[in-house]
Structure 1
Amino acid sequence: MAQITGLLLKFLRAIFLLMSIAGLLFVAPFVAYHILYPSTPGDVVVLNVRQRISHYNSELHSQAEQQVAGGKPARLLMHAQIGTLVVQEPSAVRRVLLRLVNAERGPLPMIVAGLAFALLMAKILGDIKPGVPFTAANVRRLRWLAVLLLCCEVYQRAASWWMQDYLSRLPAAGTADLVTNADFGSSMLSSGLAAAVLVLLASSYQRGVELTEEAELTV
């Protein structure tokens, strides 16, 4: 059983190490493509946005339900349409922020956070050995994972608010009704619960480390 557990830990650690390497290899071309050498000319920025369809309403939804219940084929109701908004942004700092936050392949801060998560998990799994499950280093790493999740949540809220404020201030017609379509991560509830579980797990690990040290001193 201990041998199987050891093999499983090595397998999981290898997976997270491969994820870390893939993330490191991805970050450099990401920065080059979106920041240093963007495909858009000059001060042009392309944003991923979503706009609610004006003719959609609850009555249309109810009618569709009744029609399908009456035997008609399934019906697709579009709540919103997605697209790209091409804007001219004279501020170089703002252009960089927009490209970081609203990049087509995902926000760079979230990619970096995923890379940090994979590295921490690889370190945690590397320190867990059959017969020695508790280490002081893993207590710190679990706490760092909780901090990482909370930082991702703060980033998500701040980036969403800033993007919404930016879109609402654009002079072009119809931009006030747009919302960003960039992927900012999970919900506040799930991130908060995951962080709380990690803090509790870190506390349990800390107690395990203390008991191990007490046992060693007793012997």
Structure 2
Amino acid sequence: MRTSRPHEEGGAGEGHAGGRQWARADATRHALLAAAQRVFADRGYADAGIAEIVERSGISVGSLYHHYGGKAGLYVALWEELTAEQEESAARAVSTARKAGEDDPIALFIAGARAYLQVCWERREAARLFHGGEGPSGSSLMRRSRAQRWMAQNTKLLHGTSGAAPAGRAGQVLSLVLTTVIGEAGREIATAESETEAAEIIDEVCRILIRLAR
């Protein structure tokens, strides 16, 4: 009778091996990103070297190029990781507020803004990397595209079903102003001296946003 072997398709051994391989790849990516973040913070993007990233990560240069294609790929991956966490945190906060019965578009917007700003503090080491505008070719366009998408989402949220925000051009301008305030506040929060200072900035920014939105 033919018996299944671990390496054969569908075998239990393959599943375990695949899981281990995925875990190793995930650990490799994490180590490379953590090292790149430190080197970018210490040297700036332009002066950061692949050799130092490899040395700090303990990962081979071949693995770096395999996973990220080079220094620019590491920068983009760090950016995408941070922005995804900011957006997911804001979306969760809005969803939680809705489930709790909140239906005021401005209150929902403030809940999302507060969550976004909190991530700016919690991930301040990463957030600081992108404040100076330094980065690979195309990074400015990447940031502008993200800002435009974010503004469109905020416009939709603020308008809501009750039309809390003005429609048309006025609504777009209001969303632009509020989104810009949040973005600039994120810079200040990421460079705050302490968690207490960051919390104070977040509270004040939310008060300003409410006044502007109403």
Q: Which range, TM-score by smaller chain?
A: under 0.3
Larger gyration radius, structure 1 or structure 2: 1
Looking at both structures, which has the greater relative contact order when contacts are Cα pairs under 8 Å and sequence separation is at least 6? 1
Q: TM-score, normalised by structure 1?
A: 0.26
Q: TM-score, normalised by structure 2?
A: 0.26
Which of the two has greater strand per residue? Answer: 1
